[in-house]
Amino acid sequence: MRVIIAGGGTGGHVFPGLAIAEEMKRRDDSIDVIFVGTEHGIEAKVVPREGYPLRYVRAEGIVGVSIARKIKALVSLFLSFIDSFRIIKTIKPDVVIGTGGYASGTVVLMAVLKSIPTIILEQNTIPGMTNKILGRFVDSICITYQDSMTYFPRGKTFLTGNPVRNQVLRGSIESAYKLFSLEKDLFTILVFGGSSGARSINRAIVDSLPYLYDIREGIQFLHQTGQMDYEFVRHEYIKHGIKGTIAPFIFQMGEAYAVADIVISRAGATTLAEITALGKPSILIPYPYATGGHQEFNARKLVEMNAARMLLDNELSGESISREIKEMYSDESLRNEMKKNSKIIGRPDATEKIVDIVFSLTKQSILKTQKVGFYTNV
């Protein structure tokens, strides 16, 4: 069986695809999984490292960019249809899975036109424009939140949760201490702003360091900064004498989560799926320019269930985030309550459910083809 997983741009679209690929290969190692993305997305760095072939389409985002960029994106959209046609013609997939992002739309639509079984994932409560359109034509839609059900045809929409990689679910805490050179007896704060880092989070954490002097002997950070802010952030930790490991990018996220007592991050759907599957207390800082404000919407769901705290970007400062860190550091009962509630929300079996749907869909397609062949021969 050959499978195309199309999507990318951000980790939120790439990592669910990797989770699905991993589960499919676990069940049947003979399955060929080919990823489709863009040359400038995070998939170009991550997918080859995971050992999967990656094909490229010339796609760019249209929403939230200048008129000039929109025109360029529309030209790229036309070119991506050509790329998608060539990729599907060459690979001849048995199923195409769209995980979101501007790299997935044309590939999935081309598969629909070719009558190839198709599935899309919707990670957010409110679907983006591409998935709203694709939802009318694809064979199955896998959603993360019940609220998304109203946007898609009920007969082919399944509440599965957002897939999480096995390596994230099974990270080793002992390996983490060695890998990241962290001390075992310290309260560990994992900070990341997405696959490319987040300037406002990095700035706020740096500004919080002087407010944390009174507890600095009991804490340490594991901080993914992104490439741009790495040297600046690293220098500030050294200057303030706060312990931690600073990295532009963390590939071993399973170990990073395993060692974390609390997580400070954006509120992307994949990040929330990982946090809740593991039951981690968190301080969420939604990306303020996310389409339709979906990150804030997602984060509020966790806050309402006392599974997380939230600071909006315009509320973010060294003082405000240090206050949240100190409260969670000093109040173990609060952390335990948040852990329990986070796990209630989490869906660690999401990947298995989605792969079940993939196999069911391809089986139906094979049976349908056999029936057509039988009646044609008669």
pLDDT reading at 330 higher than 70: yes
Determine the straight-line distance between the first and last CA of the chain, rounded to whole angstroms. 28
Q: How many helices (H) and strands (E) does the chain have?
A: 15, 13
For the entire predicted model, the pTM comes to 0.83
109 touches 87 (CB < 8 A): no
- The answer as to CATH 3.30.530.20 being correct for domain 2-164+348-377 is no
pLDDT reading at 351 higher than 50: yes
> How far is Cα 290 from Cα 283, in angstroms, rounded to an integer?
18
Q: Which pLDDT score is estimated for 62?
A: 58
Architecture of domain 167-345: 3-Layer(aba) Sandwich (3.40)
The single-letter code of the amino acid at 2 is R
Kindly report the average pLDDT of the chain as a whole number.
Answer: 90
207 touches 318 (CB < 8 A): yes
> How far is Cα 158 from Cα 284, in angstroms, rounded to an integer?
27
pLDDT in tens, 137-195: 999 999 998 889 999 999 999 999 999 999 899 999 999 999 999 999 999 999 998 65
Cα angle: 226, vertex 63, 298; to 5 degrees: 65
**In residues, how long is the chain?**
378
pLDDT reading at 378 higher than 50: no
83 touches 104 (CB < 8 A): no
Mean per-residue pLDDT, 81-108: 93
Name the band, by pLDDT with cuts 50, 70 and 90, for residue 375: low
296 touches 267 (CB < 8 A): yes
The single-letter code of the amino acid at 378 is V
Mean per-residue pLDDT, 58-76: 65
- What are the start and end residues of each CATH 3.40.50.2000 domain in the chain? 2-164+348-377, 167-345
